[in-house]
Amino acid sequence: MDLFEYQGKQYFAQFGISVSPGGVADTVDEAVAAAEQAGYPVVVKAQVKVGGRGKAGGIKLADNAEEVRLHAGNILGMDIKGHVVRRLWVEHSSDIAKEYYASFTLDRPNKCHLGMLSKEGGVEIEVVAEENPDAIAKISIDPIVGLTLEAATAWVAAANLDEEAREQAAQLLVKLYTCYVEGDCDLAEINPLILTTDGKVHALDAKVTLDDNASFRHPEWVDFAWGETEDVREQMAKEKGLNYIGLDGTVGIIANGAGLAMSTLDVVNQVGGSAANFLDIGGGASPDVMAAALEVINSDPKVKAIFVNIFGGITKVDDVANGILEALRRVSIAAPIVLRLDGTNAAEGRALLQPHLNDQLIAEPTMLDAARRAVALAGK
Amino acid sequence: MSIFVDENTKVIVQGLTGGQGRFHGLRNRDYGTKVVAGTSPSKAGTDVDGVPIYANMAEAVAATGATASFVVVPPAGACAAIMEAAQAGIEFIVCITEGIPAQDEALTYARLVQEFPGTRLLGPNCPGIISPGKCNIGITSGDIALPGGPVGIVSRSGTLTYQALYELSSQGIGQTTCVGIGGDPVPGTNFIDCLEAFQADPETKAIMMIGEIGGSEEERAAQYIADYVTKPVVSYVAGVTAPPGRKMGHAGAIISGSQGTAQAKMDALRAAGVTIALNPTEAGNAMIEVVKNLK
């Protein structure tokens, strides 16, 4: 789960990382109240999970209540790369002397943690990596040892941060690493990490991705659920516990297993169609799961055909067939359904469905045949 | 021959007394795998359909001489189970558990490498390993695999592994071993480990490798193939149409920036001389051609 900037800053603060004082606002009046609380001058910042907010006009300075009203009014409701701004973060403006970059993430090839630190912050780190790779000081961190203050001190020197920032930066990096590990982050990034004109180091932005697999030990994460997805289909799927990602095409996809679901998208694309979604129903597709999956897909008005692609492993195809029949009794599905069923008990499953096949429920022998049929139906 | 396991491999199921453990553990035994014990701290001294239950791995290993274990334990306890197996001297651990936090995986992997370099972990979040007719540890349905080789399969995805087995078996082409390495960010065993083992196995004559978006393991595998693998390799990489920044089901299947796209992986593999298929059926057909031209 990606956090909004304000959530990331709240999370940082829990680990003792210094951030600017500020507050959230969903209305113009709330923005003014937050500004009064934080103290002028303030920065009014759009809360969207996409980069390039500043260029889009989603970050503005304000010296008084009148300016806060003006900017908050403009930014709320603004569309930034398809993300509508529904919430603002209003914080006390910092006097910036220097902008740095710091992050921790998993170094997958080397199976350890990777810290990246640069004295050239405030711009996208990918750009720095491209244009001036030497400006990024990387360290590999053994998960058993962790990041010690000694290692962090050597690291800030290697990154050539300004002398006056080093001690505070090293301490902050140790805290950020703790946040990354104990806070179960996939990514904990500060860009920019700033040195203020009065010599303070703190996080001016926060980019945090939490590891969904660790939610069982972080009950506090429920507070971050606000505005997690704007896609109504994804919201519905989430409520039903489905692994769903909304896309823009016309062929609704239901498959078991992440790999097969991805592969199904690919095959639909190869035969000239486009997928409306990714949906992995996982192992053991019960009638409830199948019904929920069909309901979510049915709620998408763009879907003109549905491709159900099942390869039974643990999942038995006759159970899937029963699930589909049960689902069809419960839900009225607008688009035709094309089935490809293989694997464990495929013959039994196909036999169960045979009497119910018609021009709304079609069976095809292979994945490719089924994809072609679904794409043809969607194109009509 | 097979890689990592064979007909003599003795297996302890950690979590045999749970619903999933019982189902898959006994299914593996019925396939012919030597499932010699299970563990459960509270049910020691009982048995699951004739398989004796021990209080812990140390006792189970001492009593049976097993060298492999099958971890079917929920995410919160899976890493502790893996470490317990390693401490008991287990050489090959298969963990199918899905949903283990990445921080735990990274720490467990580091501890295994440091403290138990002789132990190999397969997974987590993988379908397991099957050497058709000899040994099946995991959740793969034994009846879609065909004994006798000549193909070795290695895959990051569970259902695509089944699909690959099915495409080959239905054409009468057998497998030496099929390894599902899993879709998590820190897999205990990676493509290169399997490629190395298949290259060294005289009965494996060709290799099918199934990748997916995310990370750079396929690119690294491509380099390894170019440098060390002389056997023909056919590959399929899932997720050509996956959008960037969205996790496609597996924790590891995410395109971040320009990293981890299916196209980049296919290009790297093709450059290493690998035959690239655009879907599982094409991969099956390509492998049938490769096998026809062997010898």
CATH number of B158's domain:
3.40.50.261
Residue contact B249–A243, C-beta within 8 A: yes
Secondary structure of chain A as H, E, C letters: CECCHHHHHHHHHHCCCCECCEEEECCHHHHHHHHHHHCCCEEEEECCCCCCCCCCCCEEEECCHHHHHHHHHHHCCCEECCEECCCEEEEECCCEEEEEEEEEEEECCCCEEEEEEECCCCCCHHHHHHHCHHHEEEEEECCCCCCCHHHHHHHHHHCCCCHHHHHHHHHHHHHHHHHHHHCCEEEEEEEEEEEECCCCEEECCCEEEECHHHHHHCHHHHHHHCCCCCCHHHHHHHHCCCEEEECCCCEEEEECCHHHHHHHHHHHHHCCCCECEEEECCCCCCHHHHHHHHHHHHCCCCCCEEEEEEEECCCCHHHHHHHHHHHHHHCCCCCCEEEEEEECCHHHHHHHHHHHCECCEEECCCHHHHHHHHHHHHHC
Nearest to A181 by CA among A110, A101, A112: A112
CA B153 to chain centroid:
9
B163 and B242 share one domain: yes
Query: Could you tell me the pLDDT band of residue A371, with boundaries at 50, 70 and 90?
Result: very high
Nearest to A314 among B139, B155, B185 (CB): B139
CA dist., res. B207 & res. B152, Å (int): 5
Domain assignment of residue B261, yes or no = yes
Q: How far apart are CA A168 and CA A153, in angstroms?
A: 10
The amino acid at B121: L
Interface list for B 41-70 with A (CB within 8 A): none
Percent of chain B with pLDDT over 90: 83
How many residues are given for chain B? Answer: 295
Structural domain contains residue B135 = no
Say if residue B201 is in the same domain as residue B241: yes
Residue B73: per-residue pLDDT: 94
Q: What is the CATH number of domain A232-379?
A: 3.40.50.261
Q: Smallest CA–CA separation between A153 and chain B, in Å?
A: 23
pLDDT digits 0-9 by tens, A68-121: 999 999 999 999 988 899 999 999 999 999 999 999 999 988 899 999 999 999
Mutate: best of B103, B115, B155, B192, partner A, most A CBs <10 A = B103
Sequence-distant (≥ 6) Cβ neighbours of residue B19 within 8 angstroms = none
pLDDT of residue A285: 64
Q: What are the distances in angstroms from CA A164 to CA A97, A201, A370?
A: 11, 9, 65
In whole angstroms, give the CA distance from residue B59 to residue A232: 53
Best B162, B168, B266 residue to mutate vs chain A (most A CBs within 10 Å): B162
Interface of A with B in 284-343 (CB under 8 A): 311-314, 342-343
Is there a contact between B159 and A342 if contact means CB atoms under 8 Å apart? no
Strands A185-196 and A201-203: antiparallel
Phi, psi of B30 (to 5 degrees): -65, -25
Where does a domain end: B89, B122, B155?
A: B122
Cβ(A267)–Cβ(A279) under 8 Å? no
Indicate the CATH number of A21-92 among 3.40.718.10, 3.30.1490.20, 3.30.300.130, 2.40.10.10. 3.30.1490.20
For residue B109, the number of C-alpha atoms closer than 13 Å in the C-beta half-sphere is: 27
Same domain, B115 and B230: no
Domain A96-225 has CATH 3.10.450.750: no
- Indicate if B118 and B144 belong to the same structural domain: no
B1 pLDDT above the threshold of 80 = no
* pLDDT the model gives residue A124: 80
Residue A142: predicted pLDDT: 96
Judge whether residue B108 has pLDDT over 90.
Answer: yes
- Picking from A142, A211, A257, the nearest residue to B158 by CB comes out as A257
Closest residue in chain B to residue A110, using alpha carbons only? B186
Tokens for B13, please give them. Answer: 């199921």
Per-residue confidence (pLDDT) for residue A51, from 0 to 100: 81
pLDDT at A283: 67
So what's the pLDDT on residue A380?
60
**CA nearest to A281 within chain B:** B249
B181-237 per-position pLDDT tens digit: 998 989 999 999 999 999 999 999 999 999 999 888 999 999 999 999 999 999 999
Domain count, chain B: 2
Cα–Cα distances in Å, from A305 out to A288, A334, A359, B173, B237? Answer: 21, 9, 11, 35, 25
Half-sphere exposure of A181 (CA within 13 A, CB side): 19
Claim to verify: residue B147 and residue B280 sit in the same structural domain: yes
Of B157, B185, B240, the CB nearest to A257: B157
Asked if residue B71 lies in contact with residue B14, where contact means CB atoms within 8 angstroms, the answer is yes
Q: Is A280 on the interface with B (CB under 8 A)?
A: yes
Q: What is the pLDDT of residue A228?
A: 67
The residues of B carrying an active-site annotation are 250
Q: How far, in Å, CA of A50 to CA of A43, rounded? A: 18
If asked whether residues B66 and B180 sit together in one domain, one would say no
Q: Note the pLDDT of residue A241.
A: 80
Nearest CA-CA partner of A379 in A324, A335, A317, A348:
A335
Nearest CA in chain A to B75: A213
Residue B153 counted as domain residue: yes
Contact of A129 with chain B, judged by CB distance below 8 Å, is answered with no
pLDDT at A229: 65
Residue-wise pLDDT tens digits, A184-217: 999 999 999 999 999 999 999 999 999 999 999 9
Position A126 scores a pLDDT of 80
Domain end: B95, B122, B149, which one?
B122
Cα distance from B124 to chain A (closest Cα, Å)? Answer: 13
Q: Give the residue numbers of A annotated as catalytic, written as ranges.
A: 101, 189
Interface of B with A in 191-250 (CB under 8 A): 210, 212-213, 215-217, 220, 236, 238-243, 246, 248-250
**B161 and B91: one domain?**
no
Distance from the B295 Cα atom to the nearest Cα atom in chain A, whole angstroms: 31
Among residues B91, B122, B153, the one where a domain terminates is B122
A248 Cβ contact partners less than 8 Å away, ≥ 6 residues apart: A274, A276, A302
B129 inside domain: no
How far A241 CA sits from the closest chain B CA (Å)?
A: 13
> Do residue B195 and residue B280 come from a single domain?
yes
Angle at CA A318, nearest 5°, toward A315 and A322? 105
Cβ within 8 Å of residue B70, ≥6 positions away: B11, B12, B13, B14, B24, B25, B28, B35, B94, B96, B128, B137, B138
Residue B241 to residue A126, Cβ atoms within 8 A: no
**Chain A residues 4-43 with CB within 8 Å of chain B:** none
Subunit contact B101:A214, Cβ cutoff 8 A: yes
Domain boundaries, chain A: 21-92, 96-225, 232-379
Cα–Cα distance measured from residue B15 to residue B100, given in angstroms and rounded to the nearest whole number: 16
Round to whole Å and give the CA distance between B84 and B57.
7
Distance (Å, whole) CA A19 – CA A229: 26
As given in the structure block, the two tokens for residue A82 are: 């398809």
* Stretch 70-129 of chain B: residues touching chain A, C-beta under 8 Å: 75-76, 99-103, 106-107, 109-111, 114, 127
Domain that holds residue B56: 10-122
* pLDDT digits 0-9 by tens, A257-272: 889 999 999 999 999 9
